Structure 1
Amino acid sequence: MDGTSHMAIGAAAGFGAASAVGADLEATLILSALGGLTALMPDADIDGKLRNRLTFSHHFIRSVAQIAGFLMIMYSFFQGKGNEIWTGMGAGAAIIVLSAFIRQRHMLTMTGAGIAAGGFSLQETWVILLGIFMIIASFVPHRSYTHSIAGLLFFAVIASQFEQATGLQGSFYAGTAGYASHLIADMKILPFNRRGVKFFLPFSSKEF
């Protein structure tokens, strides 16, 4: 199922959550949008449109790193003294070489780390946990842990902390329902899905 369909189903789940808590029109619109956005989060584990929107382009970061490495080499050569010359030039060369291996998946790791660091700075638990979620998603295979009950429970904690931080009643239900809607829509029982979801990772790899 494509991202647009997941977002539409998630928005419907968010609307249901808004109705359940008796939200007013403004809150209903916000919760519906929240449900739609959280319905996309399980697919942060793939190289696709969502990941590209969550992160900078790896081509851009690679170019920046290569320029920084070149400047470090030049600065060390002309301004360094003694061992500083070779140390600086070596570090610059290493940056240039390593930058060639940067991929979009690495950008999600870096973005997650940045979000987590921002959460620590703001002392916001939900921001820290969201950063950790993105870091984990950057390392796991598609349709694995982000598409499991463990992933759902982790995201439910994020949604709970978000509601406590913002005071937006119903955001826990909207966020959790939006995320859960993605897992349900990806189940193998639906005729348009060739693969299912492994709900019980890491204890079982059976697809549902």
Structure 2
Amino acid sequence: MNGTAHATIGAGVGFIAAQSVQAEPAGMMLLIGIGSVAGLMPDLDIDGKLTNKITFSHTLIRSVAQLISLMMIVYILLEETGTNRWVGVSIGAVIIIISSFIKQRHMLTVTGLGVFGGGLLLSEKWLILLGIYVIIASFVPHRSYTHSLLGIGYVAIIAYYLEVSLAIEGVFLACLLGYISHLLADMKILPFNKRGVKIFLPFSSKEF
């Protein structure tokens, strides 16, 4: 399944999450956006060891990296003030610019380092954890750890701290369900998937 489909499904899940908490229009749009981004997150591993063996869109990878940076900038503008605001925005802007020129293999690693640095600067646990996720994802094989229960558990922690930071009900649900929707859509139970997901890594390599 391609990135557009995953993003669309994630957005739909975000909409359901928004409905479940009876979010206001602005909150609904935020949850839809979070669900959409979360629906793309598992495929950040496409820039890892199998980059040269699997055919994926370089443009998609760059777009996801830039979208993460853009969301970080928006968050900083809304939540931070003074020097931290402008330093954080500058980091995000630099990541966006660099990702336009850097080679695919290193793009996500640099993005992850930037997000991690932004998290340290702002003392935001969810940003620090997200940066670590992106860095790790940029090195692991496709449909491995990011497509497992281990990945779901890690993203659940990110989602928890993101909801705490934003203080908006439904963020955790939209983020987690958006992520899970990607794994479900990649499973072999769907006839158009030739490969499945190794959901029980590292304990089992069996595809489902």
Relative to the length of structure 1, the TM-score reads 0.76
- 1:1-208 aligned at under 5 Å gives the runs 1-47=1-47, 48=57, 49-53=59-63, 54=65, 60-61=101-102, 103-208=103-208
Letter aligned with residue 39 of structure 1: G
SS in 2 for 1:39: helix
SS in 2 for 1:38: helix
Gaps of 5+ in 2: 48-56, 67-96
Q: Contact (CA 8 Å) 1:116, 1:131: kept in 2 or not?
A: yes
CA contact (8 A) 2:163 2:169 kept: yes
Confirm or deny: 8 A CA contact 1:57 1:104 kept in the other structure: no
**CA distance 1:109–1:10, shift in 2 (3 Å):** same
Alpha-carbon RMSD: 1.6
Which stretch has the larger CA shift, 196-205 or 24-33? 24-33
Give the length in aligned residue pairs.
Answer: 167
Task: Compute the displacement of 1:107 (Å).
Answer: 2.2
Runs of 4+ in 1 over 2 A off after TM superposition: 47-51, 55-61
Distance 2:198 2:186 in 1: 10
- Partner of 1:175, secondary structure, is helix
Question: Does 134-143 or 109-118 show the bigger shift?
Answer: 109-118
Q: State which drifts further: 21-30 or 34-43.
A: 21-30
Q: Distance in 1 between matches of 2:132 and 2:100?
A: 24
Cα deviation for residue 128 of structure 1 reads 0.3
**Cα shift at 1:40:** 0.4
In structure 2, relative to structure 1, the CA distance for the partners of 1:182 and 1:115 (3 Å cut) is same
What is the CA distance between 1:58 and its match in structure 2?
Answer: 6.9
Residues 130-177 of structure 1 show CA distances to partners (whole Å, capped at 9, x for unaligned) of: 100000001100000011110011111111110000111100000000
- 1:116 and 1:127 in contact (8 A); partners too: yes
Tell me how far 1:32 sits from its aligned partner: 1.2
CA contact (8 A) 1:44 1:50 kept: no
Structure 1: tracts of 5 or more residues without a match: 62-102
| Preserved contact between residue 109 and residue 134 of structure 1 (Cα < 8 Å) | yes
**Which letter does structure 2 place at the counterpart of 1:150?**
L
Q: In the TM superposition, what is the alpha-carbon distance from 1:120 to its structure 2 partner?
A: 0.5
Contact 1:152–1:176 (Cα < 8 Å) also in 2: yes
**Identity value in percent:** 56
- Return 115-124 or 48-57, whichever deviates more: 48-57
Residue 141 to residue 159, structure 1, CA distance change in 2 (3 Å): same
Return 46-55 or 164-173, whichever deviates more.
46-55
Q: Does the aligned pair in 2 maintain the 1:18–1:27 contact within 8 Å?
A: yes
